Chain A
Amino acid sequence: DAKTTQPNSMESNEEEPVHLPCNHSTISGTDYIHWYRQLPSQGPEYVIHGLTSNVNNRMASLAIAEDRKSSTLILHRATLRDAAVYYCIQGSGAGSYQLTFGKGTKLSVIP
């Protein structure tokens, strides 16, 4: 079973920031937090991942709580192409391939 909890759906207006929350209360010290997104009719696409510090890349920012039990994916300016299902995944520790996907958050972007 997925170890993370996300809202089923969220809406955002185009060109506004979006904050997608994720809870991962059972996370251990070596578990990374990954975010992927899946557009319709495509495979999942890597967005960002991190361990303790906040992370930024060209797609998004990842804000990780100090206790690491939650994180937030930040899209700085939502576009219509950002409409997708966003998955927050807690890696299950070194030595395992188990990135367990949950149901994710379906993000709708309103023009």
Chain B
Amino acid sequence: ETGVTQTPRHLVMGMTNKKSLKCEQHLGHNAMYWYKQSAKKPLELMFVYSLEERVENNSVPSRFSPECPNSSHLFLHLHTLQPEDSALYLCASSQDGPSTNEKLFFGSGTQLSVL
């Protein structure tokens, strides 16, 4: 148990659906992240929030829309996805930032399949 909880663990959606991934951290951290892990590819950083403000957006398509209503919750809203978006989506948090001296705490991820 890392203190970072992601729901759902698995999600299957059609290309015309709208769904949301949820992440909650119980660690009192100030920064939260979304990563994407495709099969046989390294983890890719998608979005970073620090104190509920987005501080990094790594050229992610607009069909992915993040939301951070407070420092404990992070959402990733999905709409009109493509089959190539099928991947493991990981949420992480860290105490403070920005700094690469920070430890990241990851959730177990949501395995997304787009049909």
A binds B: yes
Cβ contact of A98, chosen from B45, B105, B109, cutoff 8 A:
B45
The yes or no answer to B19 lying at the interface (CB within 8 A) is no
Cβ contact of B42, chosen from A2, A42, A95, cutoff 8 A:
A2
Q: Which of A9-17, A65-73, A99-107 contacts B (4 or more CB under 8 A)?
A: A99-107
Mask of A74-111 contacts with B, CB within 8 angstroms, 1/0: 00000000000000000111111111111110000000
Tell me the complex Cα distance, A98–B44, Å.
10
Q: Is the CB of B100 within 8 A of A94?
A: yes
The yes or no answer to B74 lying at the interface (CB within 8 A) is no
Closest CB in chain B relative to A87 CB, distance in Å: 8
Tell me the complex Cα distance, A51–B101, Å.
9
Residues of B within 8 A of A92 (CB): 100
Q: Contacts A2-B42, A44-B90, A94-B98; is A99 near B104 (CB within 8 Å)?
A: yes
Residues of A within 8 A of B97 (CB): 97
The yes or no answer to B2 lying at the interface (CB within 8 A) is yes
A residues contacting B by CB (< 8 A) are 2, 31-32, 34, 36, 41-46, 49, 51, 91-104
